[in-house]
Amino acid sequence: MFLIACSKQADKDFSGEWVQLPKTENSIRKLSIRKSGEEYLVKDEFWLNKDAARPSHLSEGVAEVSSNGTLEYKNLNTIEFQLDSSSNHLTLHDKNYDAKVIFEKTY
């Protein structure tokens, strides 16, 4: 009898606090991503003045891991997040504008 071991690649974990790179002197953009069951809750905050009490822009949404391993908003397929575990960076890709924003995990 032969036993064949299958090794399933572990799912990527997008959870954490992320800050936009390169860091700027006055503004800041942060992502907070939390796992909730099979989904992720994504909070995107942007401050034009990082010392302000409230962000200039705030959006929240529910995302899920797609079949290609990216994280995508459930009702908005134009934004995806790609995780590079080796560099500890997360790339937000806006497909409408072909814009990419890179984030670094802070924890």
Q: pTM for this structure?
A: 0.85
CA angle 104, 100, 12 (to 5 degrees): 50
Domain borders along the chain are 16-105
- Residue 77: per-residue pLDDT: 85
Overall residue count recorded for the chain in this entry: 107
Q: From residue 19, how far is each of 32, 42, 68 by CA, in Å? A: 9, 13, 24
Residue showing tokens 């909730």: 36
For domain 16-105, which CATH number applies: 2.60.40, 2.40.128, 1.20.1070, 1.10.1060? 2.40.128
Structure confidence by residue, pLDDT tens digits, 44-64? 999 999 899 999 999 999 999
Q: How confident is the model at residue 10 (pLDDT cuts 50, 70, 90)?
A: low
What gap in Å lies between CA 52 and CA 65, rounded to an integer?
A: 33
Q: Which pair of tokens denotes residue 4?
A: 């064949």
Cis peptide, bond prior to residue 22, ω within 30 of zero? yes
Structure confidence by residue, pLDDT tens digits, 58-98? 999 999 999 999 999 998 889 999 999 888 899 999 999 99
DSSP SS3 for 51: coil
- Residue 1: per-residue pLDDT: 45
Residue 26, pLDDT > 50, answer yes
Q: CB–CB of 95/42 below 8 Å? A: no
**Kind plus residue range of the DSSP H or E element containing 60:** strand 57-65
